[in-house]
Amino acid sequence: MTVRQVLPLTVAMPLGMAAVLVAIGHHAGRRMSDVLTLLAAVATTALGCAATLAASHQRVVSWLAGWSPGHDGRSVGLLLEADALGAGIATLAAALTCLAVVYGWRYFDEIAWQYHALLLVFLAGMEGFALSGDLFDMFVFFELMGVAGYALTALKIEDRSAVQGSLNFAVVNSLGAYFSLGGIALLYADIGALQLPIIGQELRTRPNPTSFVLAAFVLTACGFLVKAAIAPFHFWLADAHAVAPAPVCALFSGVMVELGLYGVARIYFVIFDGVLPGAGFRLALTVLGAVGAVVGALMCWQQRHLKRLLAYSTIAHIGIGALTVATGSAAAVGGAVLYLLAHAVVKASLFLMVGGLLNRYRSIDEIALFARARAARPLAVAYLCGGAALAGLPPFGLALGKGFVEASLDTPWVTLLVGLVSVVTAGAVLRTGLRVFLGLGAREPAEADEPPAKEQPDVQRRPALDHIGLLGPVAVLLGAGLLLGILPTWSRAVTAAGAGMVDGIGYVQAALGNPTPAPSIGPVPIWRPEDVIVGLVTTAAAMALALWGARGARAVGPRRITDAVAWVGRGLRAAHSGHLGDYVAWLLAGVGVLGVLLRLG
Amino acid sequence: MRSMAYFPYFVAGWLMVMGAVGIVWSRNLVRAIVCLSVTQSGTYVLLLAIGYQRHAVAPILGAQDENTRPLVDPVVQAMTLTDIVVSAGVTALLLAIAVQVARRHRTTDPDQLSTLTG
């Protein structure tokens, strides 16, 4: 078997097993379904590893059934193409699914084969989206991943908030997907091809970009930006994360959201880089990313629902990722990928821990959980480590990636923004950790008059918090976050994979039969003394903020300023209304803003 | 007659925008879901309009057809079919969730759903 044949298998493997589960699910017991799902996920991970290893030397191109382009450079064939980043994300998705299944072994009571089949279909969608080199296939896999995701979000179908969250998620994402399809149709009308490399090749031979191409980009990017939860397309994310079961949240925050940003970057660098004015793209993604980062951080701090808090932190971090991708600099994008990967594993581990708390103590509310998990020492250590990792504590990979981004961009305001987002989001996570695990601060703080956050637990009994089914996956994820910072081979490989993303021409040429080796990235991430110092300072600041928050966040400073901050916070919370119509209105406004910013640049 | 050639594109754009605006204004979840389908219908019209050629025949070729007449583009038709399948799946799932919302919340008015705010 050659590496070429591996690519279709990574999609077919989970999809095939999902079909098997649907066929025999009634007869297979719960454990049988668990084992079969785990087998498929492990096999997909192995295939993904093989593809990643091959793709890190040279892009792997697979024209399905041999329908490669002829002399005229045209084809109606379907293309799967893996560069190191695409294959790497596919592997990450499969590996996280393995952990989700292992974790689900103890986490769920009453799930049956339907859950397992949905999980595998979700995985197949992610694999296909990451590896596809064809716009229409990207749309189809996007929707496949979407539909499975909506159903997984509404898994607790009896829960009032679960159905509402799933509905918001489904409508906003589907609407984004249809706009994407509109954009894809426009590109097809213009070029007569659907494959990214062929469109990219053709558009680069045109003299001037037309408004038509710009409109096609805005529409196509819209769906992917919704998935990536870039402001103002992000509203669905907190709702979906707040209600989905913890292992599903880990997949959402760990890989699905990152896939959205990956999709935007993929179509931009392969098709539109050098076609649309680069300044417009930079401006648009920088503004939207920065707004998302600030809004996410401010919303994160105000939450007492633990999963919602983590969800807003994801929005903030992906915003940072977006504004880094916007620069188009290979080194910065490489750093951003290291940063987002380390963030993904740490965030996934935090979601799994919060799921453990929910099942044990029947609550997801920071204040209701006050001091209740004091006995769970190992989990407390893991939770606080996770929070500190988000703050940028060396030697976690987040700090290394962040330092590398800052070094390669060298823009003071980005450094400041990244620092602020890290401090505020990690401060919020640490605050909950201090309250729940250590019982620090006030038991009845000011915000206690709000109604507490509620969620149905997923089991009848109350599983212990020191069980290997919980601590194992958490340790693996946190360990991965740590190793990304410690092992130079890992951090170098991840950065190189990210940097390869920028090379759109290489992607085009590889698909057309002229493979080029991945470009070298030049500098590699190393621990500079200033990164270590900055990391320690942000961690200390986050800890101080957390202590201040746990004590009841008493206002300091002039009255006028604290009032203004409180007013902004209340306004933001009111904007995140949970109302479907509002979210769609924001989406439409976002499309307009995106178009205007692209034009302005 | 040339201006008529733009008409289907106008219809497609109109359907897509009006579907989305319809979701914003919906006071009923089922109506919102139907509006989503309207948006998607816009994409069908757009795709089919792109593949259309005047005086062309359907892209069905027999074994001994030495047909020199132009064909309409079969690729967009295949895309439209796929799109319809996707839409059927999404709409069915959404309606099922809407039924469940109606059971749990005793309403299908998005303004009355208040479990997820802030």
Q: What are phi and psi of A276, to 5 degrees?
A: -80, 155
In angstroms, the Cα distances linking A33 to A27, A105, A168, A321, A528 are: 10, 10, 30, 37, 48
Report whether A112 contacts A30 (CB < 8 A): yes
List CB contacts (< 8 A) between B86 and chain A: 140, 143
Question: Cα(B1)–Cα(B6) distance, rounded to whole angstroms?
Answer: 10
Report whether A98 contacts A104 (CB < 8 A): no
Nearest to A578 among B40, B86, B116 (CB): B116
For the stretch A224-234, pLDDT in tens is: 999 999 989 99
Report whether A302 contacts A278 (CB < 8 A): no
Using the Cβ of B3 and the Cβ atoms of chain A, whether some distance falls under 8 Å is answered with no
Report whether A146 contacts B91 (CB < 8 A): no
For the stretch B64-99, pLDDT in tens is: 566 677 888 899 999 999 999 989 999 999 999 999
- What pLDDT, on a 0 to 100 scale, did the predictor assign at position A513? 86
Average pLDDT of chain A to the nearest whole number: 92
- What pLDDT, on a 0 to 100 scale, did the predictor assign at position B2? 63
- What pLDDT, on a 0 to 100 scale, did the predictor assign at position B21? 96
**Closest chain B residue to the Cα of A75, Cα to Cα:** B75
**How many contacts does A have with B, using Cβ atoms within 8 A?**
126
Average pLDDT of chain B to the nearest whole number: 89
Using the Cβ of A451 and the Cβ atoms of chain B, whether some distance falls under 8 Å is answered with no
List B71's β-bridge partners, or say none. Answer: B57
As a whole number, mean pLDDT of residues A417-426 equals 95
Residue at A61: amino acid letter: V
What share of residues in chain B are helix, strand, coil (percent, to 5)?
70, 0, 30
Cβ contact (<8 Å) for B36 and A146? Answer: no
For the stretch A22-63, pLDDT in tens is: 999 888 888 999 999 999 999 999 999 999 999 988 899 999
Question: Cα(A79)–Cα(A213) distance, rounded to whole angstroms?
Answer: 22
Using the Cβ of B11 and the Cβ atoms of chain A, whether some distance falls under 8 Å is answered with no
- What pLDDT, on a 0 to 100 scale, did the predictor assign at position A206? 86
Residue at A480: amino acid letter: A
Question: Cα(A319)–Cα(A448) distance, rounded to whole angstroms?
Answer: 30
Which residue, among A180, A182, A178, A187, has the nearest Cα to A275 in the 3D structure?
A187
Cβ contact (<8 Å) for A242 and B116? Answer: yes
Question: Cα(A159)–Cα(B71) distance, rounded to whole angstroms?
Answer: 52
Report whether A237 contacts A295 (CB < 8 A): no
List CB contacts (< 8 A) between B52 and chain A: none
Name residue, tokens 């307009």: A592
3-state SS class at A60? strand
Report whether A38 contacts A98 (CB < 8 A): yes
- What pLDDT, on a 0 to 100 scale, did the predictor assign at position A444? 67
Domain B2-112 falls under CATH 1.10.287.3510: yes
Which residue, among A195, A139, A80, has the nearest Cα to B82 in the 3D structure?
A139
Using the Cβ of A6 and the Cβ atoms of chain B, whether some distance falls under 8 Å is answered with no
Residues contacting A483, CB < 8 A, separation 6+ = A397, A490
For the stretch A159-173, pLDDT in tens is: 889 999 999 999 999
Which residue, among A165, A263, A228, A146, has the nearest Cα to A587 in the 3D structure?
A228
Instruction: Calculate how close chain B gets to A428, using CA atoms only, in Å.
Output: 16
For the stretch A364-376, pLDDT in tens is: 999 899 999 998 9
Name residue, tokens 């930006």: A225
As a whole number, mean pLDDT of residues A429-448 equals 84
**Closest chain A residue to the Cα of B79, Cα to Cα:** A136
* Class of residue A557 by CB neighbours under 10 A (exposed 0-12, middle 13-18, buried 19+): exposed
Nearest to B90 among A158, A174, A302 (CB): A174
Question: Cα(A36)–Cα(A549) distance, rounded to whole angstroms?
Answer: 45
- What pLDDT, on a 0 to 100 scale, did the predictor assign at position B65? 61
Question: Cα(A237)–Cα(A4) distance, rounded to whole angstroms?
Answer: 35
As a whole number, mean pLDDT of residues A129-151 equals 96
Name residue, tokens 């990536």: A228
Residue at A42: amino acid letter: V
Cβ contact (<8 Å) for B43 and A166? Answer: no
Which residue, among A435, A431, A456, A463, has the nearest Cα to A542 in the 3D structure?
A431
**Closest chain B residue to the Cα of A154, Cα to Cα:** B97
Report whether A588 contacts B23 (CB < 8 A): no
List A273's β-bridge partners, or say none. Answer: A276
The number of helices, as runs of H, and strands, as runs of E, in chain A is 23, 2
Q: Which two tokens stand for residue A304?
A: 């007492």
Cβ contact (<8 Å) for B104 and A239? Answer: no
Q: Check pLDDT > 80 for residue A119.
A: yes
How does residue A252 score in pLDDT terms, banded at 50, 70 and 90?
very high
pTM, whole model, 2 decimals? Answer: 0.96
3-state SS class at B109? coil
Using the Cβ of A114 and the Cβ atoms of chain B, whether some distance falls under 8 Å is answered with no
- What pLDDT, on a 0 to 100 scale, did the predictor assign at position A448? 58
Q: Check pLDDT > 60 for residue A70.
A: yes
- Please give the residue that has the higher pLDDT: either B108 or B66: B108
Question: Cα(A118)–Cα(A157) distance, rounded to whole angstroms?
Answer: 15
- What pLDDT, on a 0 to 100 scale, did the predictor assign at position A446? 59
Instruction: Calculate how close chain A gets to B47, using CA atoms only, in Å.
Output: 6
How does residue A447 score in pLDDT terms, banded at 50, 70 and 90?
low
- What pLDDT, on a 0 to 100 scale, did the predictor assign at position A211? 87
List CB contacts (< 8 A) between B110 and chain A: 579-581
Question: Cα(A506)–Cα(A308) distance, rounded to whole angstroms?
Answer: 40
Give the end-to-end CA distance of chain A in Å, rounded to a whole number: 48
Report whether A59 contacts A197 (CB < 8 A): no
CA angle B11, B16, B22 (to 5 degrees): 115
- What pLDDT, on a 0 to 100 scale, did the predictor assign at position A543? 96
Which residue, among A427, A434, A388, has the nearest Cα to A309 in the 3D structure?
A427
Share of chain A above pLDDT 90, in %: 76
Question: Cα(A250)–Cα(A120) distance, rounded to whole angstroms?
Answer: 15
Q: Check pLDDT > 80 for residue A452.
A: no
Which residue, among A155, A458, A164, A244, has the nearest Cα to B105 in the 3D structure?
A164
Q: Check pLDDT > 90 for residue A556.
A: no
Q: Check pLDDT > 70 for residue A445.
A: no
As a whole number, mean pLDDT of residues A565-588 equals 93
Report whether A517 contacts A54 (CB < 8 A): no
Q: Which two tokens stand for residue A313?
A: 């932190």
* Class of residue B98 by CB neighbours under 10 A (exposed 0-12, middle 13-18, buried 19+): buried
Question: Cα(B72)–Cα(A337) distance, rounded to whole angstroms?
Answer: 44
List CB contacts (< 8 A) between A581 and chain B: 23-26, 32, 110
Question: Cα(A280)–Cα(A326) distance, rounded to whole angstroms?
Answer: 10
- What pLDDT, on a 0 to 100 scale, did the predictor assign at position A333? 93
Residue at A446: amino acid letter: A
Q: Check pLDDT > 90 for residue A460.
A: no
Q: Check pLDDT > 60 for residue B1.
A: no
Question: Cα(A333)–Cα(A498) distance, rounded to whole angstroms?
Answer: 6
Report whether A440 contacts A547 (CB < 8 A): yes
Using the Cβ of A361 and the Cβ atoms of chain B, whether some distance falls under 8 Å is answered with no
List CB contacts (< 8 A) between B18 and chain A: none
CA angle A469, A470, A471 (to 5 degrees): 105
List CB contacts (< 8 A) between B39 and chain A: 175, 178
- What pLDDT, on a 0 to 100 scale, did the predictor assign at position A585? 97
Nearest to B39 among A178, A242, A574 (CB): A178
* Class of residue A426 by CB neighbours under 10 A (exposed 0-12, middle 13-18, buried 19+): buried
Q: Which two tokens stand for residue A345?
A: 């594993």
Q: What are phi and psi of A258, to 5 degrees?
A: -60, -35
Domain boundaries along the sequence of chain B: 2-112
Using the Cβ of A143 and the Cβ atoms of chain B, whether some distance falls under 8 Å is answered with yes
